[in-house]
Amino acid sequence: MALPEQPAASTADTIFGRILRGEIPCDQVYADEHCLAFRDVAPQAPVHVLVIPREPIVRLDEAGPEHAPLLGHLLLVAARVARQEGLTGFRTVINSGAEAGQSVFHLHVHVIGGRPLAWPPG
């Protein structure tokens, strides 16, 4: 198992920042002025898409009240992507901090489905 990426000086220093700038290609499934959604390169299920904000937020617990519209938008995009991928059931996951499994320190929503998902997840 790979070690989590260390918190960057800014989200621009992460692999997701490089993807947003077009420096690293991705398998894009959705994009708008607020976010980008693309297939995870190490999928944990038949469908595993990441939804990332264009605005630099390191982790969920660093978001403030001013981010409420963006956070809601990310979840609406997650549902849209799930429908687009033909999922009738899916899981959304936001890891916040290395202890929770966050490996890239740029806020992201996992959209996972296409197989039965066990509970509890961890």
Which listed residue (34, 67, 106, 108) is catalytic? Answer: 108
Does an H or E element contain 93, and which?
strand 90-93
Q: Are 41 and 24 in contact (CB under 8 A)?
A: no
- To the query of whether residue 108 is one of the catalytic residues in this protein, the response is yes
CA atoms within 13 A on the CB side of 29: 21
Helix and strand element counts for the chain (H, E): 2, 5
Could you give the residue numbers annotated as active site?
Answer: 108
